[in-house]
Chains A and B, each alone.
Chain A
Amino acid sequence: MTPEEWTAVRLSLLVATTATLASLPLGIAMAWLLARRQFWGKSLLDTLVHLPLILPPVVTGYLLLISFGKRGPIGAFLDQAFGIVFSFRWTGAALACAVMGFPLLVRAIRLSIEAVDVRLESAAGTLGANPLWVFATVTLPLCLPGVIAGAILCFAKSMGEFGATITFVSNIPGETQTLPSLIYTLTQVPGGDAGAMRLTLVSIAISMLALLGSELLARRIGVHRMAA
């Protein structure tokens, strides 16, 4: 593999890991809100969360560009107030991946929270646990397999995200050129076929490792519970 290809693989792993870990807390909170609470505007929020799943990725990328770009309202504010810049940086690629993976993450976690018996939660309440503790000690452990599944989905989606990323942060080698972007670039130049094939194999290997890892993790949680 060429150094350029290694850089793209490393960057993709960094972007996907960052996107997954950063969206996980928000995803769990959102999933809990949608699964357990009734409030005004809930279906609107639900639609909003799922929007990236049905919109063309290019549209999502463009929306990110005009809002989180250097001159976009949110992007300009974050730059001035905190010095956080998304446009044409790897952090922007992570943001695009997080937005694209968010619906998958929330969906998986929401389903597993809904499967947790609310009667167990009210029982925990009568034993003195406040709602936050009930969530941490009863709901979260019981829906953990769903959380892991959601995180893996989000990670896999991030590894393969192309349209929104390239629209939002372009295709800059070493900064925003992720694995799919490089494969796309290689298919556009003469003699790039071998590199594209190598990266394709790497992509397959990473996806399989991620699946295997989640399987092992889920099993270990099962074992841990048995010992608890």
Chain B
Amino acid sequence: MSLEVDIDHTRGSFHVAARFTAAPGLTALFGRSGSGKTTLVDIVGGLVRPDRGRVAVDGQVILDTERGVFVPSHRRRIGYVFQDSRLFPHLSVRRNLLYGRWFNREPGSGAADLGSVVDLLGIGHLLERRPDSLSGGEKQRVAIGRALLAHPQLLLMDEPLAALDEARRAEILPYIERLRDEMGVPILYVSHSVAEVARLATTVVILTDGKVTAVGPVADILPLADSGDGGSVLDATVARHDEAFQLSVLTSAAGELQVPRLSAPVGAPVRAYIRARDVMLSLRPPEEISALNVLAGRIATIESGGAQAEVRLDCNGAALIARLTAKSVQRLALAPGKPVYAVIKSVSFERS
């Protein structure tokens, strides 16, 4: 699947001009609130008609203002999971889930059936309930299932976790990961959370004031994300679990990492997100220190801006970013090429 988007749209004084191509997997549209993310997915979903533009899914043009093509949303086969679930209040969970099946134009295409979607999302016990009796997290899972069962060729998710608290988010994230890995439906995912994007995205599109400022694989793009808590992404594998201390040991290109016990099985690929401000640098291997994770690396670049400096390390091919004060940079005489040891608190991991 490929999604090509090239649009111009003005609403009031706000102008969205975006052009990008999304690869298979989960593409995250990342940006602050008000950067035009929702407008962009509304255009892809057919809820908003842009002033000018072209959108194609798998080469099939669903919008082309120059040629007068506008496929209405009900014929696009693009699922949409809204921030506010939008379940039909007069229908049971089961009938909400099966709503799209009435209109499915490709029956028996081997796509998701009720049983497998219910299993995937863990909503079997909710089927006879009514939407207003569900918790926020349950509603969102049902909304995801409802979109999937309409057999979409592309799934849009507009900040599906934004209305939920931390615990509910943790409850849903694994389901979205399974969706990405098991269902094979490409996803366009809107978020302003670095942690969510780091954990879920294959490709990241950064949107700033209605313009696309960067597109690419998550490990390359996320460090560019303009926010107070920049960081780096490490791809790793679960090596073993340490039950006694409730820790999991991960192996990555940069070395071994110890993180709080993960539910992922041994051998599972995970992604660690390390915030730049959680990384300290030492010139010698630190001894007698509480932090569990020490990675050896070499300084690649130093970007200083005022009192702060962002130091980019090359740890055996993997990139790691540390945010230090300008004073520390000078005191340790840090310079590109210099070997250093990065000290990371194990609690600062966002697991994948």
Would A128 and B72 count as touching, CB distance under 8 A? no
Q: How far is the CA of A123 from the CA of B46 in the complex (A)?
A: 11
Q: How far is the CA of A117 from the CA of B105 in the complex (A)?
A: 27
Q: How far is the CA of A12 from the CA of B74 in the complex (A)?
A: 46
CB < 8 Å neighbour of B82 from A119, A133, A141, A142? A119
Would A127 and B82 count as touching, CB distance under 8 A? no
Q: How far is the CA of A133 from the CA of B105 in the complex (A)?
A: 15
Would B150 and A128 count as touching, CB distance under 8 A? yes
Would B99 and A127 count as touching, CB distance under 8 A? yes
Chain A nearest CB from B216 CB (Å) reads 28
Q: How far is the CA of A171 from the CA of B103 in the complex (A)?
A: 53
Would B80 and A129 count as touching, CB distance under 8 A? no
Q: How far is the CA of A131 from the CA of B46 in the complex (A)?
A: 13
**Contacts A129-B102, A226-B130 known; A124 to B88 CB distance under 8 Å?**
yes
> Does A120 sit at the interface, judged by CB under 8 A?
yes
Contacts of B103 in A (CB 8 A): 127-130, 133
Would B90 and A142 count as touching, CB distance under 8 A? yes
Would A123 and B80 count as touching, CB distance under 8 A? yes
Chain A: CB-nearest residue to B146: A127
Contacts of A129 in B (CB 8 A): 74, 99, 102-103
Chain A nearest CB from B73 CB (Å) reads 4
Chain B binding surface SS class: loop
Q: How far is the CA of A130 from the CA of B76 in the complex (A)?
A: 11
> Does B89 sit at the interface, judged by CB under 8 A?
yes
> Does A126 sit at the interface, judged by CB under 8 A?
yes
Would A127 and B150 count as touching, CB distance under 8 A? yes
> Does B251 sit at the interface, judged by CB under 8 A?
no
Contacts of A134 in B (CB 8 A): 74
Chain A: CB-nearest residue to B151: A128
Would A228 and B90 count as touching, CB distance under 8 A? yes
Contacts of A117 in B (CB 8 A): 86
CB < 8 Å neighbour of A126 from B78, B92, B95? B78
Chain A: CB-nearest residue to B95: A228
Q: How far is the CA of A173 from the CA of B19 in the complex (A)?
A: 76
Contact with A along B64-82 (1 / 0, CB 8 A): 0000000011111111101
> Does B45 sit at the interface, judged by CB under 8 A?
yes
Contacts of B79 in A (CB 8 A): 126-127
Contact with B along A22-46 (1 / 0, CB 8 A): 0000000000000000000000000
Would A128 and B100 count as touching, CB distance under 8 A? yes
Q: How far is the CA of A128 from the CA of B104 in the complex (A)?
A: 7
> Does A49 sit at the interface, judged by CB under 8 A?
no
Q: How far is the CA of A47 from the CA of B79 in the complex (A)?
A: 41
> Does B47 sit at the interface, judged by CB under 8 A?
yes
Chain B nearest CB from A88 CB (Å) reads 46
> Does B84 sit at the interface, judged by CB under 8 A?
yes
> Does B270 sit at the interface, judged by CB under 8 A?
no
Would A126 and B80 count as touching, CB distance under 8 A? yes
Known: A225-B90, A226-B130; 4 extra A-B contacts, CB below 8 A, are A120-B86, A127-B79, A128-B77, A130-B72
- Which 6 A-B pairs have CB atoms at the shortest separation, nearest pair first? A128-B103, A127-B100, A126-B80, A123-B86, A125-B73, A127-B150
Q: Which residues of B contact A (CB under 8 A)?
A: 45-47, 72-80, 82, 84, 86, 88-92, 95, 99-100, 102-105, 130, 146-147, 150
Q: Which residues of A contact B (CB under 8 A)?
A: 117, 119-120, 122-131, 133-134, 137-138, 141-142, 225-226, 228
